[in-house]
Amino acid sequence: MKRTLATLTLASVLLSSAAYAQSVGEKTGVNSTLGITPKTEDFIKEAAMSDMLEIEAAKIAQTKGDAQEKTFAGEMITDHTKTSTELKGMVSGEMKAALPTALDDSSQKKLGKLRDSKPEDFAGEYDPMQVSAHKDAVSLFERYAKGGEDPKLKDWAGKTLPTLQHHLAMAEDMNKNRK
Positions in the chain whose pLDDT score sits under 50: 2-23
- The predicted pLDDT at position 34 comes to 64
Tell me how far apart the alpha carbons of residues 99 and 131 are, in angstroms, rounded to a whole number.
24
- The predicted pLDDT at position 104 comes to 93
- The predicted pLDDT at position 57 comes to 97
- The predicted pLDDT at position 92 comes to 82
- The predicted pLDDT at position 103 comes to 94
- The predicted pLDDT at position 76 comes to 97
Tell me how far apart the alpha carbons of residues 114 and 121 are, in angstroms, rounded to a whole number.
9
Exposed (0-12), middle (13-18) or buried (19+): which is 8, by Cβ within 10 Å?
exposed
Taken in order 9, 11, 16, 21, is the CA torsion positive or negative? Answer: positive
Tell me how far apart the alpha carbons of residues 113 and 108 are, in angstroms, rounded to a whole number.
9
This prediction has a pTM of 0.81
- The predicted pLDDT at position 22 comes to 40
- The predicted pLDDT at position 171 comes to 96
pLDDT in tens, 13-28: 333 333 333 445 555 5
Binning the chain into helix, strand and coil, the percentages to the nearest 5 are 85, 0, 15
- The predicted pLDDT at position 179 comes to 56
